[in-house]
Structure 1
Amino acid sequence: MKHFFCLVIFIFGWVTLEARPVFKISSSSGPNSSFVDVEFKVDSFIDINAIQFSINWNPAIIEFNELITTGSGLPAGSLTNDNINTSIPGFPGTGIFSWNTSGSFITLPNNSTFFKLRFKLIGSSGQTSPVNIVNTPLSFEYVSASGTFYSIGSVSGSVTISGTAGNSVKFIASSETAAPGANVCVKVSTEGFTNISSFQYAIQFNPNILEFVQVNGINLTGLTSSNFVSNNTTGFVNVVWSSADPVTVADGTKIYELCFKVKDGASGTSDITFGANPPLSVEITGSAGNYNLTSTSGQVTVGGGNPGCTPTGLGVGITRDTVPTGNKAVVYFKAYGFTNIEGYQFTIRFDKDKLRFDSVRAVYFPGANIDNDFNIASAASGKILTIFSTATPLTRPNGSDIFAIAFTVIGNTGATADISIGLDATEQLPLDFIPGGSAVQVCKGFIYIGDKTVINPDDCTLTASAAMTRQATCPSTANGAAQVTESASARCNLPIKYLWDNGETTKTANALTSGTHFVTVTDSSTPAKVVVTSVVITASSEPTIVPVITNVLCNGQSNGSISLTVTPSTGVTYQWSNGTTGNSISNIPAGNYSVVIFYGGCSITRNYQVTTNASITIGNKNITQTQVGQSTGSISFTAVGGTGTYTYFWAPGGQTPNPSRTALAAGTYVVTVTDTNGCTTSESFVVTISGGTNPINIAVTTSNLNGFNVKCDGICDGSITLQVTGGNGQFSYIWNDGSTLGSRANLCKGNYKVTVTDGLGATKTADITLTAPSAILLSEVNKICTDSTMNVCINVSGGVTPYTYEWSNASSTTGCLVNVTPKSYTLVVRDANNCPKTFVTECSENSGNEECNNSKVLTPNGDSKNDVFYISCVDNNKNNLEVFDRWGKLVYSTVNYTNDWTGLGNNNQELPTGGYFFVLTLKNSNGTTTKLVKGSLTILRN
């Protein structure tokens, strides 16, 4: 006996030594400038009433914010921010923690939360700070019922900075407790949910402990149960949500609940965390662009009740549930091994201090009767008797309902109320089955009393998931396949029905394109139980496409661009909606653009939008007149649109800080408003003198050069002289091109408009058009070349007649050479305005070796720039020109092209803006082809 006692003492001492409290510190991450919580959980916390230790972290990476007691297993009020001190001289990044309960000893379940520390992330992306329990400056010490000890165990944690903060939205999961077999709902709330347009992420749980059932309590615009897709095998619930209009909810608002069933026989804790579940990534968008996800994890701790079981032979199973006090609970008695049963009797016992009998809710066996089969006389003492018999033996499937009893929950929150069948032979109505006797296995039921959302036990429970079974050959090819895997409870009516978003109605869909597809799974009840799940179909060779979009800086400009990076890029070609065929388009205005990407026999269409800011507009204009000889006029207006702040420049007057002017004399004032991007708009204001005015008269004199105002086509030597009479005071001038001169010189042909303003602010406008002769055009006719002689005439058109002719190496003064030696001759033709045009003719045989260059852009808008399509080698050479559109259709052709095509088709209609291809055939004097020239050009029109 002494030996046994010593052995017991030794074992007790060894257990005491090893059972020191162990603190487990979690690891967290988040972007710079965000806040994260580090959780301190404890194991082996047995009969302890005081503890102290030091906590260390890197103060250059994280900054202590506060101690959080929410979720702590310690007695209420025993733990506050005063329990930690982080202002320790000589110990940066250190906090000393001490706690006691003034004499009472506390025991906590393993994996209980002791407290949390909240830190602000101040370091750089990628940096990690350890979070450790250390022995200095405050040494380890704790007091238990066994004495004072100087050693504790710990598992270090860390905080990692995952990026820059930018904008972030936080999702917070609650921590709950539920018994095995019970249903429990985890509440998800949010912070920073301001002007959010979409989010997607995954919630992970432990599938060995929990089984996802459904979503309850949805409280977010546009969010429905169809936005959630679960997989109880891997332990993930994916959620994808979007809204056409940004949504804002108050901090702390619960937006949905995830409801789980705690598995029979489960124990421990399942963390509820937020993150990615590839291929589903974490994405949040809103009015400020992309947002980061931050989160506070929740957990479900298994507690209360007893582990469940499933009878393996003849038996009765009793359901379990979690119900708040004051609510109704319905308990179902289920049949197992019921084969040819002719009758049964037994006593039902329940905890009368926690449950109050309400009613026998339903009976499910043929011939059963609520009034005749139950004796509830002793229900107030926690006992109900039931007896049933039938002349026709019954066989029922395992798990089918025998009957259901409703109770009102009256116990305290956190308590468990058991429901069982009396197995003692002395029961008022002993357990007996025919056949079977008392050899019956009974699985006890219970109600765990907790503040949880109750899932109606009468509902059909239907879950479904879908998985891809075959990729699509190409993204747009409908030959991908996916299959549904569903789980339906006994209360669901068969058959299970399927409806895919492409119209297929079988369990397996075989005609799916790449992308996300939804399938609606229903049972055959009325109304049906409906579950919507989704599956992502990939294409076997789909490339990665990364767009970079540069938006237009100012409204009306064309400086936007879209550039695509496609991986892999081998063999990839592009066809944009504006005709471009490369991987990028540039110098484009705001608008919508699409591109078809061809790769490996497949194609993908992508749509992109280039945006711009609103134009600056000037409104609320107000002008006050001045008096004769005074400067009492004023101007004010309001500018809207554009970007950022405005600057204002007045002519006359210079830059001013605001959109108003005072103390103004009569006259015209032009303001230019410029925004932060350099975008501008201008407006003219006229301050007049109150009273009458003398009409302004404008006489216009223009240059005259043989009937034209400009001497030659393409030059600018025209002039306009104004003679202004009438009016009052000095005159000022403003032309449509911005000039403020009274007379103009060196002008090109075109339309001009001038506004003359007198000293009283009265105005008069004149419109003037300057003309120029058409361009001089030269072409060969009647050209004959022999070995010894050469004859040729040059046809002249355009300019101003008459013409003069100057030949090099020839004495002719006309447009023809007669019987001259065959070689190269240069002719300079001058019209009456002395405008020259040079032409070279020769009889040397066209070898086809000359270089041919062509203009790449044709802009036939009359500005004398790129108005015609130019090819350098067509002069003096016989040729044929053909122009094709990008689909290979012939749109224009001519013989002996002379650089005069302005973009009209063979039908004499303007060809549209876009890309074109040409083929030029050069021939010698015998008509033999000497060279083919191929190229491209782009027609651009205003």
Structure 2
Amino acid sequence: MTRIFTCLLSRLATMVFIIVAQVSFGFSSPSFFSNSTSDNLSDQDLGGFTLSMTSISANQGDVVCLPITVNGFNDVIGMQFTIHYDQTALSYSSLTNFNLPGLSISNYGTPDNGQTPGTITMSWLDNTFAGVTVPDGDPIFELCLNVTADNAIAAVNFSGTPVAIEIIDSNDNELAASTNNATVTIGTGGSGGGGDLMFSLSDETVAQGQQVCVGVSVSGFTDVIGMQYTVRYDPAALTFVSVGSFNLTGLSVSNFGTPDNGTANGVVTMSWTDNTFAGLSLPDGTQIFEICFTATGSGNTSVFFSNSPVPLEVLDAGENIINAGTNNGTVTITGGSGGGNMSLSLSNESVVQGQQVCVGVSASQFVNIIGMQFTIGYNASVLTYNSISSLNLTGLSESNFGTPANGTSPGVITLSWTDNTFNGVSVPNGTQLFEVCFTASGSAGTTPVTFLGAPVALEVIDVAENTVVTNTQNGSVTITGGSGGGDGFMINVSDETVAQGATACVGISVDDFTNIIGTQFTVNYNAAALS
């Protein structure tokens, strides 16, 4: 398995660009049901490579996520840069929604891993050197920041100083880049503050690998005719399952944008309108819906309201915009089935001689994995390879396997798999990833099916490009001799019960049917009773 790693071309070694955040005071209200805010008229799109951020509104205590979008991102092989933000208004929360091959949290320096507070660094290289193209307007990642200021406008600007912006294409040309800047307009709301209307996400605790549902409840919900907002979560810790438990007139799954219908992982959007336009009121504390996840990470992870891509906006029956506050939630993920290292397990199976048996390969602590490889060995004089089946891992197909059917030696099966999104894949503990099916061609007894270190060594890589320590548990196949455990060939005729005048079908089965090249026999029946 080729190890995924980050390196830089020599000309990228000094390449950095800067985003600077400044703060001035003021406030402006967002337009109702707008999915974006005003553009930055002072910036210019030069028609070539463009880096852009979109202005949003937020309240004190919110977490805002700024998508970094691109235009003219054609055949790019590398870039690196720095982001500076003003800590008087904003603090670092997370980086998410990576959208370049090989881009992961390991490409960044953040205050969480030793970088100076107020500074984010990023370096990325296309390891194929073929060049990557991204559709115009698509984000390459999102920067999420905590809003710490009150009643302010925070400017977030791309800058060419102190180090110039540099983007390199597959011809080793430096691309001229233009920028579109953004502002974060900060109100006085937030957790515990803001107006009378409040949206709250519940705090939940769940065992790793299990499902958890986070409730969304309201207070001060009076004469509301429409609302929209975004809920975000860390897809490295939680995997979206569903929205449900709807408790608001007209609210259904069609009001939501979710990862299973087109939104990015980590994003759930909601837009609802009272079709009567009379306005709806709810008792304080009413839960209006819940979002359900599978807990794939560990520790504490936030589920929070966001203004991107859909800003928080609420309208009452008088068509007034309601100032709404938010309370974010936390999911505490406990260790699940024992915690610890990742493990791969082969199942123990029993089979009658001459029949097919399938040995399952299961995983535990399989969290944010982007690649793995290993070898499975078996005794080819006892088991004859048939097929790979029951594939149950994103992107896994028969082409990922080396088998005796496509060139490996009998007794050897190899696997090499990569998550092509490089976002990392997580599965609940005990998930069976695939099965290897054999014919039990040997004599009665138990034969091992084991993980081997060659010809393909066991290696697992996570989204941070770290090698994951992986334990293995071998399996076995126990072959029985057929009916009565004897060693001889046996032909069996089934017993059947049938009503007079009806048709009866009698089955012919065999035991110990091994290496047979031909057979013949006669079946007799009572012609006075059967015809």
TM-score range, shorter chain: 0.3 to 0.5
Larger relative contact order (Cα-Cα within 8 Å, sequence gap ≥ 6): 2
TM-score by length of 1: 0.21
Q: Which has the higher strand share?
A: 1
TM-score by length of 2: 0.35
Larger Rg: 1
